[in-house]
Structure 1
Amino acid sequence: MQVERASISIDIGFTLYRLGKDLPCIAFVSGVTDSDGGGYAVLRRVLEELKSKTLHGSILLVPQLNELNLAYRPCTYTSGSSIFCKLVDKLVELIPRECLVVEVRCRRGFVEHILIPSKVIEESLIRLVETIPIEYVVKDKSKGLAYELKKRGYNVATVILNCGKEFDHSEVDKGVEVVMDTLGNLGLLKKKKLNHVKHRYYEGYYVIRCSNRGIFIPSITNCTDIVAQTVVGALEESEVRSPVNGLVLYISRPKLCDIDEVVSVIAIEALGEGSIHQ
């Protein structure tokens, strides 16, 4: 195993662990935000487990890219790069373009799913997604780490785990299982039994927010398939409905809700199982 310290200044940088050699190659990256404590713990555990394994290719691990929790700003090179974008540039220097990349992120209370930073999905990206044993796949329009790596020519996907800055051991166990099964499906790690799933693809997120301050009470649960105008909860005396067909990825617990606070996230319009319609 090789350990590389990448720095952009005296006190800002990250550590990359390089295991195995040659192709195929995959990199796992976490710790982009302060909420990714569970992802950091997952990749640290994966690192320990891989030390004793025979690998058939290369695995790169960056458990904590953003060690100082620097604020993310979009990379606009016309006005100069943010510190975060300099970290991305340094990451690109260390990860070969032939490598697949999986970002591991935490979102507390969410159903596990995969985000793909594309409007049109290339076959090479489909092949990466098919190795990840998580059923739900959502097109992502945000401009985070995966978007920046996609611009630079990588095949990249983001795995969303139900965890946060604080996490349970069971949540870490689940994340480790996802990563290790992905490595087995790619052929980098020999496993007695492969774990493939049939994927369901969605067009994006629809976020439902509180229109006024009041008590929100949910009336549905995560992982529920819904049609447009389904009641997802009540805000004081008013029904809160979803305007779209899709899958409930997140529904808030009962709470005092502030204006514009998120109470539900819906994955919009399933496009099909096991295939992508472009």
Structure 2
Amino acid sequence: MLHVPVLLEESLDFMLHNLSGTYLDLTFGRGSHSQEILNRLNPKGRLYAVDRDFEAVLYGKNNINDCRFSILHANYSEIDSLFPELKFDGILLDLGTCSTHLDNPERGFSFQADGPLDMRMDTTRGFSASEWLNNANESEISNILFEYGDEKAARKIAKAIIKFREIKKLETTSDLTHAVESVLKRVGKIHPATKSFQAIRIHVNDELHHLKTVLPKIEKILKINGIVTIISFHSLEDRIVKNFFKPEVTELPKDIPVNTSIKESYKCIKKKLRPSEDEIKRNPRSRSAVMRVFSKL
């Protein structure tokens, strides 16, 4: 399945206020947003893209032949070292998992098909889901499932994982799915392993840490009147974004290293935009998306 971009028109309508400007797509994926940005920019415009997934970077280099375009293999939280001198008219963060990750069993992101239990967005570094699950203690697993997946049965699932790995290592997505299903039965349309897969993916990729790290760095590379557009796909992400930019919040979580005056540097352009009913019908994966837009003062 091809990746279907979420809130494509809305995000670019807000962000592309100068068609001769320089823009940054921090989550390239399979280039849906980037390609449309290039379609709209005039010949003087410029687009840089970043992705932590090397397969995505190769896809961009092989499929977008445009002298106005450059793509880098890196984590978006490294923008200060990637662009020490550039200033951008607009920056896009689409935090959703690329559909190509979910649909490729070899990446291990989904319980829909059997594959290696990896889940890393950047397979060149870090630890896989299998490595973590086979070495973490029961309390750590339970805490991650509850904190990142809001899984009410976190303790039962953690116990089941420990019990499973006493017999054999968890090496495939089916292994993890079977461990979850041994204590949690399906109710309705939602698969019982959904929250566990989400939580473990967030942990393996340290997603919330990287989001907290990048937010205070954006101001340094964004021009005055520049637009930052952020699309989140679960409440943990959206809460971090909302609280970071919210002017009435006087104190941020201690793990966000930011100058206390930074929120005074932005104006909220769009507080909370969700996909239309038509878009959700066309692309059910968009149903949880929330977009927030801010302008640098």
TM range (shorter): under 0.3
Q: Which has the higher strand share?
A: 1
TM-score scaled by length of structure 2: 0.25
Q: Which has the higher helix share?
A: 2
